[in-house]
Amino acid sequence: MSGAADTPLRLGIAGLGTVGGGVVRMVQTHGELLAARSGRPMQITAVSARDKNRDRGLDLGAFTWYDDPVDLARSDEIDVLVELIGGDDGPAKLAVEAAIANGKDVVTANKALIAHHGTALAGAAEAKGVALNYEAAVAGGIPIVKAMREGLAGNSFSRVYGILNGTCNYILSAMRDSGRDFSDVLDEAQALGYAEADPAFDVDGVDAAHKLAILTSLAFGCPVNLDAVHIEGIRQVSAVDIEFATELGYRIKLLAIARLTDNGVEQRVHPCMVAEGTSIAHVDGVFNAVVAEGDFVDRVVFEGRGAGEGPTASAVLGDLVDIGRNIRLPAFSVPAAALQTLQPAPMDSHVGPYYVRLSVLDRPGVIADISAILRDEHISIGSMLQRGRNPGEAVTVVLITHENEEAAMSRAMALIGGLEAVLEEPKIIRIEAL
């Protein structure tokens, strides 16, 4: 859908929460700047939200109000649907589908929608000749989608990874700084507004998995496959683990990692120990970071705020400026029909070193029994730490292994956990070489 330089790009905003309000404010604040950069004025003409009477601190009187976002999506008053409702189904999906069917460009911040339905929506948008832009769905204000789709388009990617959830990064950073455990810091994060009342989506790794599934498609030209992502959260990371990590020269981060291997495409979200000397180890608080590795560019690192009104609205406006310039690209770098299905690499085939923490009775033969199990699974110990020397009582033993296969580690940990002298389920954290 093209437009003359003096013809406004008419926006319909569905969802007036934190991000929707930010988009309204940004358009009102930077109207002249946006017109200059996109080549035509941007004009909000219509909005939709659940509660018309809620005080949002915005003057919405000049906009047509729609109770149903699907009606907004079909309206002749708009050229672009800006979908900021959220959720992988329901009104958000129906509104986006309606907009595409009616020849409207779409800009969304909805990572769940793109992670679940992105491939199908991309095909529908291409068939209609409209844009499906979603910069704000991944890493907030970091322009990683545009960078991978355009600036790095000449590269073949081997790996993309990062810190994609600010809530988890804040909690792990605060645990390290204060020595407190997960539950205490989670309460603080909720009080500060960094974590939701129900934090499961963030702390259990689901939010990061949605974003990783999208980045994987961008990097490797494959359909979005959320089901192939291995997901672990941070609930099991303890202050003790963070203390040992520091002593060993590591920091613990929840990483989302996609890479090509001989066994297929790995997609995994889980806590990792990363060396203190790596740049990503020092991305703290609510900040996000994304690292893309390409054959010609080598390694490119992006860091910034991954959520919030301003950063996310900034990403939305970047997508809108592209539409104002009549730039419409395939959603996942190549046309939807050209996306190639790639074999998912099973998590059991992952190879790397591991941190293992055990609580054992301090008595003769215990370490020998543990070592025998590791030997039988061909797992080599790189180093060992023991805390305390209380014969007959519980002590903590930490092992760092050399590289080995995940399947072998799983078998070994099951056997070690079954030993009479091992008092708790073994705790393992993968060590990631970056």
pTM of the complete model? 0.94
- pLDDT of the residue at 376: 96
Give me the mean pLDDT over the 333-358 stretch.
Answer: 96
Per-residue model confidence as pLDDT tens digits over 134-155: 999 999 899 999 999 999 999 9
- pLDDT of the residue at 308: 87
Answer yes or no: is pLDDT of 2 > 60. no
Per-residue model confidence as pLDDT tens digits over 247-261: 999 999 999 999 999
Percent of the chain with pLDDT over 90: 89
Answer yes or no: is pLDDT of 375 > 90. yes
| 336 contacts 224 by C-beta, under 8 angstroms | no
CATH number for the region 9-137 comes to 3.40.50.720
Per-residue model confidence as pLDDT tens digits over 156-198: 999 999 999 999 999 999 999 999 999 999 999 999 888 888 9
Where are the chain's structural domains? Answer: 9-137, 144-305, 350-431
DSSP string for 251-313: EEEEEEEEEEETTEEEEEEEEEEEETTSGGGG--TTEEEEEEEETTTEEEEEEEE-SSHHHHH
Answer yes or no: is pLDDT of 1 > 70. no
- pLDDT of the residue at 3: 58
Answer yes or no: is pLDDT of 393 > 90. no
| 394 contacts 422 by C-beta, under 8 angstroms | no
Give Cβ neighbours of residue 400 (< 8 Å, ≥ 6 apart). Answer: 248, 353, 354, 355, 356, 381, 382, 383, 384, 431
CA 2 to chain centre: 33
> Active-site positions?
211
- pLDDT of the residue at 342: 95
Percent of the chain with pLDDT over 70: 98
Per-residue model confidence as pLDDT tens digits over 119-139: 999 999 999 999 999 999 999
Architecture of domain 144-305: 2-Layer Sandwich (3.30)
Does 350-431 carry CATH code 3.30.70.260?
yes
Q: What is the SS3 assignment for 104?
A: coil
Per-residue model confidence as pLDDT tens digits over 31-75: 999 999 999 999 999 999 998 888 888 888 889 999 999 999 999
